[in-house]
């Protein structure tokens, strides 16, 4: 929702932004953003975090997928804030999915706060390391750990 195909080449080749389906043109990113932030209950969060090892992403035949799990909620909050739709984030993230599938809504709560978090350049992952989405950058929103 925040990246278009130019993100693959910003500041040189960015293999950690390579995913399938491939990132699209700006007009398509805008359409996805408009749908997701519309409040329409047909659209809901579905992260597909892909913790591929750094050496596998930075190879001649790199793996597709971005490792977004550690920062996903903060990135979604950023997207919804930019769209002026923070009031629709909870439905998108928590209600529309289970309602669509006829499942009970989760009773656990997550609190997001507007407090920047610096995304680490990488995480240790077994015998390797994984580069997360927005590595080395600040995400304006954080999950409050209580």
Catalytic residues: 48
Q: Is the dihedral of CA 126, 20, 92, 103 positive or negative?
A: negative
The DSSP annotation for 107-126 comes to -----EES--EEPPS-EEET
CA dist 67 and 133 (Å) reads 6
């Amino acid at each position: 929702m925040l990246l278009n195909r130019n993100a693959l080449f910003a500041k040189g080749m960015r293999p950690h932004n390579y995913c399938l389906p491939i990132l699209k043109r700006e007009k398509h990113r805008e359409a996805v953003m408009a749908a997701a932030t519309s409040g329409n209950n047909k659209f809901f969060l579905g992260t597909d975090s892909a913790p591929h090892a750094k050496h596998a992403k930075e190879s001649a035949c790199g793996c597709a997928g971005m490792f977004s799990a550690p920062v996903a909620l903060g990135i979604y909050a950023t997207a919804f804030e930019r769209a002026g739709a923070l009031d629709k984030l909870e439905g998108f993230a928590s209600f529309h999915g289970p309602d669509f599938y006829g499942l009970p809504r989760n009773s656990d709560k997550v609190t997001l706060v507007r407090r920047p978090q610096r995304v680490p350049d990488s995480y240790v992952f077994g015998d390797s390391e994984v580069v997360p989405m927005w590595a080395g950058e600040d995400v304006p929103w954080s999950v409050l750990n209580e």
